[in-house]
Amino acid sequence: MNNIVSMAWVKEHMGEPNVVIADCRFVLGKPDAGREAYEASHIPGAVYLDLEKDLSAPVDEHGGRHPLPDIFDLTVALSLAGIGNETKVVAYDDQGGAMASRLWWLLKYLGHEHVYVMDQGFAAWTSAGHPVTDEIAEPTPVKFLAIVEHTMLVEMDQVQELLGREGVTLIDSRETPRYRGEVEPIDRVAGHIPGAINRFWKDGLTVTGSWKVADEQAERFADLDKNRELIVYCGSGVTATPNVIALQEAGFTNVKLYAGSWSDWISYSENPVATGDEENA
C-alpha cells in the first residue's frame, strides 16, 4: 500500500479490530467547527483528532502557529483513540487532505508505519452514498510506544545554517501570491525564506479533489534532484505535509519538514525575508 487509500478500501475495512479511522476535519479560524461537524456526521467508528488540541502544542513566542505537540501528550491522545503501534490508521478530512496529512506525518515521525490518508475526503464519501453516523466512537485505549524519527524534522537554526548550501532545496508549499509576498492574510510578515522555491500543495490534487498518482506527482517535481536534501515548509507546518506525501509518492527519500515553517521563521527578527520568485535550486 502507498500513502493514499481509496474510499472503497475504507468502506471494506472499517470496523475491523486493527483499523482506526481518524476524522481530522478542522477549519482555521473556527476551532470548534471540525468537532461539531464530526459530532453531526462521520464515518462509522471514526474517532476525532483535533488539529489544535491533539495534533499541535499551544502557541508560544516561537514554534509557529501550530507547534508540534509534546510527544508524551500526543502518545496519550493516540492511545486513548485506540491507536497502537500495529494499528492501521486511515485519516480523512474535508480540507484536501491537509489536516489528515498532519496526522500521517506525526505518526510517521513517531515511528508508526501503518498510516494512510483517505482519498478525496468526507464530502466525497457522503456524495458517494457511503454510510455515515452521529454515534460517537468509544475506543478501547491501547499502548502506543513512540520511536521518534528525528531525521524527518528540521528546526529553525538548522534551516538558518543550510541557507544557500549546495545539495539542499527549500520548498514553500503555500499559494504563489503568499510565497511571493504579494499578500499575507495570516502571518504578520509577507514573503518567503530566501532561496526557497514554490510548489503549492494543492497542485498535488486533481481538479476533482483526488490525489494525483505517483507519475503525476513526479511531474510536479521533475526539476528536482533526488540526491538533494529537500526541506518542506508552509505557513504553520500543516499544509506542507501533503507535499511531503507527494514527494514520497514521487520517489524522493530525503524529505524533511520544517514544522515551525514561515510563522516560526518570522518570529525571529534577525531572519532574512525574500519576496518575488526564485530560480529553481
Residue 147 to residues 108, 248, 253, Cα–Cα distance (Å)? 9, 20, 19
Which phi and psi (to 5°) does residue 185 adopt? -80, -10
Note if 24 is an active site residue: no
Range 98-129 burial, b when 16+ CB lie within 10 A, else e: bbbbbbbbbbbbbebebbbbbbbbbebbeeee
Q: Residue 250 corresponds to which cell in the numbers above?
A: 514521487
Q: Is 123:97 a contact under the CB 8 Å cutoff?
A: no
| Catalytic member of 68, 110, 234, 247 | 234
- Walk across the sheet containing 115-118 and list its strands: 4-5, 115-118, 88-92, 19-23, 47-48
Q: Is 34:51 a contact under the CB 8 Å cutoff?
A: yes
Catalytic residue annotation: 234
